[in-house]
Chain A
Amino acid sequence: MPSSQLLRSRPAVGWALLASELSVLFRRRRTWAMLLALAAVPILIALAVRLSSATPPPGRGPAFLDQITQNGLFVGAVGLIVCVPLFLPLTVGVVAGDTIAGEASAGTLRYLLVAPAGRVRLLLVKFAAAVVFCVAATLAVAVAGAAIGIALFPVGPVTLLSGDTISVGESLLRSLLVAAYISVSLIGLSAIGLFISTLTDVPVGAMASTIVLAVVSQVLDSLPQLDWLHPWLFSHYWLGFGDLLRQPISWDSFGNNAILQAAYVLVFAALAYGRFSSKDILS
């Protein structure tokens, strides 16, 4: 029967579309420029600490900065802490804001929809590609940090926040957990960017609004007078990955963060569906 054949061939179309979307995303010079800029952050930090004669005093600057000279594995952690408030949301905002609006402004959106893909599948594929970029961006910082740290500083057992010490192997595992935490943290922002991207044909506008929202959310999160609002802000748990660096690991913030991000994804994916499926595609 033709209908069942169609059903069976659907996933294939979806995967093919995702593969082509990913290859387009990761063949763009802009994507690589952003990943390289992110990787440069821990490298600059490591070079600055290596070249300066004085060790950073404890308790000043980003957390763990004073530990770098004793253990290079902390470079990745410091890099992630520095990147989480602005640089990572910036790059994620660019990618997520570009998803639909970029195709619309390039005039390619209608050709994508002529193919038997359907608008829902296109949205899903675009969102999946943005999520893949979240993971890639976080890994760029973490891996570059670990590499430059191992190259420039001694490497040894890692001290956790609780004062307990873990082996190098386990610390790499924890670094991956932290990277996973931050990737999850950025998914909600990707969904917001996807929705904003369906509202406009001007990709720069969608990118800028997404990034502005990330900053506004963090500003609201820092005001104690608005503490009733804080658990609802998508940036509320962004720096909560410190809980993964305790002994024993506290999974509470990981779970809360995942639930919060999932809620944001559901709401904004549904909004994006509402907008995109009822939109007149003119370009």
Chain B
Amino acid sequence: MNRAWKRWVPAGVVVAVIASAAIAVPLTASAAVDLPTKTPQQVLALVARSHVGSLSGTIEQTSNLGLPQLPTTGTGSDSAASSALGLLSSSYTARVYLDGPTKARAQVMDKLAERDVIRNGSDVWLYSSRDNTAIHSTLPARTNKRPGATTGEVKTPGELATKLLAAVDSTTTVSVGNDTRVAGRTAYDLVLTPRATGTLVGSVSIAVDSETGLPLSVQLAARGQKDPAFSVAFSSLTLAAPSADVFSFTPPVGAKVKEQAMPSHQGAMKPLRPETDAVKPSMIGSGWDAVLSMPAGAETAKLTSSPLFGKLTTTVAGGHLFHTALVNVLVTNDGRVFAGSVPVERLQAVASAP
């Protein structure tokens, strides 16, 4: 009996070793970091001075907005589910390559599929392997020298942090949290907390590389939700110029190639979503609890007639509500649209106000 027990010892040891490795590896990755103390202003200055022009890295974006989750099955290329609501609200892994202000490439790595954005000088290519299409557009000459190459709808932590920090004003408290480690680099944790209490945003946390000032991750926490509602972070990062052939793209033989004119007023790469200026949305209030309001029109009618609309919204007093952890959208019965990072009661109050 005693001998029979000993035969099972290796199994127990192996399980114990694997379990302790599974616990210890994430712990060492996030081991306590002790950087020289900096005030929030010093960290903001560090970000402002940052001029990382060349990098290659992997970005992981997760969103936990409380939208319905569907099982993923099958052996097909899987880009459709995540792109239904736009890249910004989906979870994905992307590789990003930047070299100077005019060369950029982002590869969104889907299951057995990939979506690419490649910018080389004034040429911009969008390639989707799922339907094997390539869309080419040429940037207007004057935007060629715009600083800070963008990777289209794939937002790097740096781009998002720049936008968020630009909006920092007296409605926001800025503080420095515990030093962290992101993608193996030590970082200051810049925490933006809304002063207003009537907003769904709990706090914004930006990890700033202690060496270069490059934002390494951005996390948005929603009030009343434990997991971050939205997070984009580098999982690996190399601060060296990627090889030049990463940015050279010729559409593959057999691909459908479309030529698309770039809107001249727009430096960013959003040729897939032409902006209509038929209806002008307006802002009510300012700061974190501002509400975006859109009058009834063709755009909103198109929205409400979509078959998805009924499934994604719930009926509330005065209209239909599309609810996520960070944003509420109220479509009133007469077709007006109100959106904001605020509770539904505020949207209803704004909608019923004369």
Whether A159 lies near B254 (C-beta < 8 A) is yes
Q: Which residues of B contact A255 (CB under 8 A)?
A: none
Partner of B129, one of A62, A163, A275: A163
Contact indicator per residue, chain B 99-133, by CB within 8 Å of chain A (1) or not (0): 00000000101011110100000000101011110
Contact indicator per residue, chain B 18-41, by CB within 8 Å of chain A (1) or not (0): 100000000000000000000000
Using a CB-CB cutoff of 8 Å, which residues 74-103 of chain B contact chain A? 75-77, 80, 95
The segment out of B64-72, B171-179, B273-281 that lies at the interface is: B64-72
Whether B75 lies near A274 (C-beta < 8 A) is no
Is there a chain A Cβ closer than 8 Å to B353's Cβ?
Answer: no
Q: Which residues of A contact B246 (CB under 8 A)?
A: 248
Partner of B253, one of A157, A224, A277: A157
Whether B11 lies near A222 (C-beta < 8 A) is no
Q: Which residues of A contact B349 (CB under 8 A)?
A: none
Using a CB-CB cutoff of 8 Å, which residues 258-304 of chain B contact chain A? none
Q: Which residues of A contact B4 (CB under 8 A)?
A: 278
A58 to B127, CA, bound (A): 14
Whether B14 lies near A267 (C-beta < 8 A) is yes
A278 to B8, CA, bound (A): 9
Q: Which residues of B contact A164 (CB under 8 A)?
A: 249, 252
Is there a chain B Cβ closer than 8 Å to A161's Cβ?
Answer: yes
Whether B109 lies near A63 (C-beta < 8 A) is no
Is there a chain A Cβ closer than 8 Å to B142's Cβ?
Answer: no
Partner of A242, one of B71, B113, B131, B253: B113
The segment out of A33-41, A79-87, A92-100, A110-118 that lies at the interface is: A79-87
Whether B109 lies near A224 (C-beta < 8 A) is no
Q: A159-B255, A271-B11 are in contact. Are A222 and B72 (CB under 8 A)?
A: yes
Q: A242-B112, A267-B15 are in contact. Are A63 and B72 (CB under 8 A)?
A: no
Q: A159-B255, A161-B112, A243-B109 are in contact. Are A66 and B7 (CB under 8 A)?
A: no
Contact indicator per residue, chain A 152-171, by CB within 8 Å of chain B (1) or not (0): 00001101011111000000
Is there a chain A Cβ closer than 8 Å to B10's Cβ?
Answer: yes
Is there a chain A Cβ closer than 8 Å to B352's Cβ?
Answer: no
Contact indicator per residue, chain A 232-273, by CB within 8 Å of chain B (1) or not (0): 000000010011001010101000000000010011001101
Whether A67 lies near B95 (C-beta < 8 A) is no
Whether B7 lies near A277 (C-beta < 8 A) is yes
Is there a chain A Cβ closer than 8 Å to B140's Cβ?
Answer: no
Q: Which residues of A contact B148 (CB under 8 A)?
A: none
Q: A157-B253, A163-B252, A248-B246 are in contact. Are A267 and B76 (CB under 8 A)?
A: no
Whether A270 lies near B75 (C-beta < 8 A) is no
Is there a chain A Cβ closer than 8 Å to B251's Cβ?
Answer: yes
Is there a chain A Cβ closer than 8 Å to B73's Cβ?
Answer: yes
Q: Which residues of A contact B14 (CB under 8 A)?
A: 266-267, 270
Give, as a whole number of angstroms, the nearest-CB distance from A68 to chain B: 11
A60 to B254, CA, bound (A): 17
Contact indicator per residue, chain A 197-234, by CB within 8 Å of chain B (1) or not (0): 00000000000000000000000001111000000000
Partner of B71, one of A63, A223, A252: A223
Using a CB-CB cutoff of 8 Å, which residues 128-160 of chain A contact chain B? 156-157, 159
Give, as a whole number of angstroms, the nearest-CB distance from B164 to chain A: 27
Is there a chain B Cβ closer than 8 Å to A70's Cβ?
Answer: yes
Q: Which residues of B contact A242 (CB under 8 A)?
A: 109, 111-114
A109 to B158, CA, bound (A): 64
Whether B112 lies near A239 (C-beta < 8 A) is yes
Is there a chain A Cβ closer than 8 Å to B134's Cβ?
Answer: yes
A: contact size bracket: 35 or more
Q: Which residues of B contact A243 (CB under 8 A)?
A: 109
Partner of B112, one of A81, A156, A162, A263: A81
Give, as a whole number of angstroms, the nearest-CB distance from A156 to chain B: 7
Give, as a whole number of angstroms, the nearest-CB distance from B34 to chain A: 30
Whether B253 lies near A163 (C-beta < 8 A) is no
Whether B76 lies near A58 (C-beta < 8 A) is no
Give, as a whole number of angstroms, the nearest-CB distance from B136 to chain A: 12
Is there a chain B Cβ closer than 8 Å to A61's Cβ?
Answer: yes
Is there a chain B Cβ closer than 8 Å to A59's Cβ?
Answer: yes
Q: Which residues of A contact B116 (CB under 8 A)?
A: 162-163
A267 to B254, CA, bound (A): 47
Give, as a whole number of angstroms, the nearest-CB distance from A87 to chain B: 12
Q: Which residues of A contact B112 (CB under 8 A)?
A: 63-64, 81, 161, 239, 242
Partner of A63, one of B73, B75, B127: B75
Whether B131 lies near A274 (C-beta < 8 A) is no
Give, as a whole number of angstroms, the nearest-CB distance from A45 to chain B: 12
Q: Which residues of B contact A60 (CB under 8 A)?
A: 76
Partner of B114, one of A82, A157, A161, A270: A161
A239 to B73, CA, bound (A): 11
Give, as a whole number of angstroms, the nearest-CB distance from B82 to chain A: 12
Give, as a whole number of angstroms, the nearest-CB distance from A266 to chain B: 5
Whether A239 lies near B80 (C-beta < 8 A) is no
Give, as a whole number of angstroms, the nearest-CB distance from B307 to chain A: 20
Q: Which of B113, B125, B249 has the most CB of A within 10 A?
A: B113
Q: A63-B113, A81-B75 are in contact. Are A161 and B129 (CB under 8 A)?
A: yes
Q: A59-B130, A242-B111 known; 9 other A-B pairs, CB under 8 Å?
A: A59-B80, A82-B75, A84-B75, A157-B253, A159-B252, A162-B116, A267-B18, A271-B8, A278-B3
12 A-B pairs within 8 Å (CB atoms) are namely: A62-B76, A63-B77, A64-B112, A84-B75, A163-B251, A163-B255, A224-B72, A246-B114, A266-B14, A271-B8, A273-B11, A278-B3
Chain A residues proximal to chain B, CB less than 8 Å: 58-64, 66-67, 70, 81-82, 84-85, 156-157, 159, 161-165, 222-225, 239, 242-243, 246, 248, 250, 252, 263, 266-267, 270-271, 273-275, 277-278
